[in-house]
Each structure stands twice: as C-alpha cells, then as structure tokens.
Amino acid sequence: MKKRIALLAALMLLSLAACGKKESAESKTAESKTTESKTAQGYKDGTYSGEAEVKEVGGTIKLDITVSGGKIATVDMQNLDREGKEKGEDYGKSEPLNRGLYSIAQNSILGTDKLPGLLVDSQDPDSIDAVSGATLSREAFVQAAKAALDGAK
C-alpha cells in the first residue's frame, strides 16, 4: 500500500514537471543574436533631432541625440509646456495654489529628467522602463527618440 502511494506521488510530480514552461536553447540563442545584431549594427555618427507631443496634458518633448562611435553618447532634452516654455519650478502652479497638483507636476519633471540617462545606458528607446510620475512624458520621450534615431540608421 505504501509503495503504491509513493509510486502515485512520484508519477504526479513527474507529470507536473513535464507541464512546466520549457524554453528551448534555440529561442535563447535567437534572442541573444537579435540583441547582439542590434548593438553591433550601431548608429551613424552625428546629431539627430526628434520631438513628440505629450498626450493628454499637452507640451512637447524635444531631443537632440548625439551618436559617437555608433552608440548614443548624449541626449539633450527640452521638456516644454503648452506655451513652449521649459518646465521648471513654476510648472503646475495655479491660482489659488493647489499643492497636490503642483506636487504631481513637479514629480513629473523629476521623473522626465531621468529619461535621457536611461536612453544612454540602454541604447534602445523601447527598453526604457516606466518612470514613476512621468508615464505620459516617457511615451513622448520614446516617440521623440525613435524619430531622432530613424535618421541615424
């Protein structure tokens, strides 16, 4: 009786293990080749510009991306409000002052300011993860970066 229970338990474990997700060596190799070819391909050296509108809240993200040695070397960003002015410490202020909205607006600026460094580190606009407080700006940043880098291919 104990042998039957042990055998049954072993068979159940074996069948559960067989149901697990199995990634083939081929898919891992193909994935690494894709990453390598994208990196190895590089970009043409030069400075490229792109811009995109920040949806829902208005404003524009303008980028100047400098490529050196086939890689993104620097990213200069302008984070503009609806009137075309650079967003700064007055961005989000209203009369009367709504501290909650002002805080959200300022957090958006802080989050957006991280994006150029993330692009230089990753070398790929699509690999930039969301940044807290800057979701809409991130989307515009990625669009602007892609527009700029289209000229560098």
Which domains does the chain carry?
42-150 (3.90.1010.20)
29-65: pLDDT as tens digits:
444 333 333 444 589 999 999 999 999 888 999 999 9
Beta-carbon contacts of 123 under 8 Å, excluding residues fewer than 6 positions away, are 39, 71, 72
pLDDT for the residue numbered 127: 96
**How far apart (Å, rounded) are the C-alpha atoms in residues 54 and 81?**
9
Q: What is the Cβ-side half-sphere exposure of residue 71, based on CA atoms within 13 angstroms?
A: 9
Model's pTM, two decimal places? 0.72
pLDDT along the chain (153 residues), means of 10: 63 58 45 39 92 94 98 98 95 88 94 98 96 95 98 91
Report the C-alpha dihedral over residues 106, 107, 109, 111, rounded to 10 degrees.
170
